[in-house]
Amino acid sequence: MEEIIISSKFIAYNNTDELPNQTQNLFKQATLAQKNAHAPYSKFRVGAAILLDNGEIILGSNQENAAYPSGLCAERVALYQAASNYPEAKILEIVITAAPEATGIASPIPPCGSCRQSIAEYETKQETPIAIYFMGEKGKIYKSESLKNLLPLIFNKKLL
């Protein structure tokens, strides 16, 4: 038997003022996108902003549907739009903001499992890491230099 230990590294920021200007702007954009969420069931609004290497910023918000699981998370809305409109561009950063309608949440909200797998697909495709920043409505901001911190045992095309 062998024990395998996998560790992850994150950077925690106290507020957006500590971030580079371009990332602060992405947080502003993601917060605006969050207002466009269609979340009548969960009442949990999520916004995402993606910075591409061509300078484009792509936004997404969660879109729920009464016929579960037909809705999409903000991250995948933005990812698929980026891939559809700029298929050769590399994703540099993804910023995610989340807030429930009723109460404030101070914990950073990471991408769900489906979004992690989708981000993994693009990180594998472009062969360069994607920086992922995420926060709740308030409180600390977490940064991961790569999806591998959130999903260390990535399932990708190399396993097929």
Annotated binding-site residues for Zn(2+) read: 73, 112, 115
Q: Which one is catalytic: 3, 18, 56, 75?
A: 75
- Answer yes or no: are the C-beta atoms of 118 and 154 closer than 8 Å: no
- CA nearest 82: which of 54, 58, 111? 58
Instruction: Cite the annotated binding site by residue number.
Output: 62-68, 73, 112, 115
Three-class SS state of 117 = helix
Residue 45 bridge partners (DSSP): 99
User: Is 75 tagged catalytic?
Assistant: yes
- What CA dihedral angle connects 79, 146, 128 and 116, to 10 degrees? -30
- Answer yes or no: are the C-beta atoms of 26 and 133 closer than 8 Å: yes
Task: Give the active site residues.
Answer: 75
